């Protein structure tokens, strides 16, 4: 698990121009990049998130951080610089799953994602790495790559549903998208660190990603 000193920065809201532009690859590895990764972890934890892309704190650099469970419920935390998303050769049908975003606080919707995903890239020191995710981690990897490509999860939804969710996020306190009996996505759950950890466990236990059907 990655826990280093960092400074929490404000998370940009949907509609900010930086969130809707592709990020640039990191072209050097050093203290500046390492400091950005530290600040991203601090920002993610301060916002009770399970993942964060650099452009969500206003930096157009292809870096993301994550801290969420895989399909077994095991907690996985890390970061990837200049990530490339890959899928298995025998790609399973996409699965629908509840998804939220720190840039659209309080809002959730079903989004189709591949149940298994692999990301290759580098760590903050320039060492090559590979992360393969299942369950929530697979969804998180795809969600964060979308961010780095200038795509927010609501951009994958029908226009009317997207407009409803964005309006609800702006107004605050209203529920956009679909309601669900499932626990809220911990990416936007308020509360203490212990509460956040408990919510992650409850959410992972409540969802069986492989049994969800793809509803177009």
Catalytic residue among 2, 99, 128, 144: 144
- DSSP bridge partners of 105: none
All domains in the chain, ordered by first residue? 17-208 (3.90.45.10)
**For residue range 151-196, what is the model confidence (pLDDT) as tens digits?**
999 999 999 999 999 999 988 743 333 333 233 433 433 333 444 4
| Burial profile 44-82: b = 16 or more Cβ within 10 angstroms, e = fewer | bbebbbbbbbbbbbebebbbbbbbbbbbeeeebebbbbb
**For residue range 64-109, what is the model confidence (pLDDT) as tens digits?**
999 999 999 999 999 999 999 998 776 778 899 999 999 999 999 9
Look at residue 2 in the predicted model and tell me its pLDDT: 60
Confidence of residue 138 (pLDDT cuts 50, 70, 90): very high
What the block records as the tokens of 195 is: 């509460």
What percent of the chain is predicted at pLDDT more than 90? 71
Look at residue 44 in the predicted model and tell me its pLDDT: 97
Chain CA centroid to CA 116, Å: 15
Q: Is 129 in a helix, a strand, or coil?
A: strand
Q: Determine the average pLDDT of the residues in 113-125.
A: 96
Look at residue 93 in the predicted model and tell me its pLDDT: 86
Alpha helix (H) ranges present in the chain? 31-46, 135-148, 159-171, 193-206
32 is an active site residue: no
Look at residue 76 in the predicted model and tell me its pLDDT: 96
d(CA 7, CA 182): 32
Provide the whole-model pTM. 0.79
């Amino acid at each position: 698990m990655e826990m280093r000193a960092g400074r929490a920065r404000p998370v940009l809201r949907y509609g900010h121009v930086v969130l809707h532009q592709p990020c640039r690859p990191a072209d050097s590895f050093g203290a500046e990049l390492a400091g950005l990764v530290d600040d991203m972890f601090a920002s993610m934890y301060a916002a009770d998130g399970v993942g964060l892309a650099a452009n969500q704190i206003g930096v157009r650099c292809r870096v993301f951080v994550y801290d969420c469970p895989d399909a077994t419920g095991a907690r996985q935390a890390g970061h990837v610089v200049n990530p490339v998303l890959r899928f298995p050769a025998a790609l399973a049908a996409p699965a629908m799953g509840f998804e939220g975003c720190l840039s659209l606080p309080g809002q959730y919707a079903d989004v189709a994602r591949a149940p298994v995903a692999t990301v290759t890239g580098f760590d903050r020191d320039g060492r090559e790495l590979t992360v393969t995710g299942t369950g929530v981690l697979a969804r998180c990897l795809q969600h964060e790559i979308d961010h780095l490509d200038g795509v927010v999860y609501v951009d994958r939804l029908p226009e009317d549903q997207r407009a409803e969710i964005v309006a609800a996020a702006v107004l605050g306190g209203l529920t956009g998208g679909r309601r669900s009996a499932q626990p809220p996505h911990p990416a936007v759950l308020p509360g203490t660190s212990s509460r956040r950890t408990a919510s992650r466990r409850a959410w992972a236990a409540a969802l069986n990603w492989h049994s969800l059907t793809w509803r177009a």
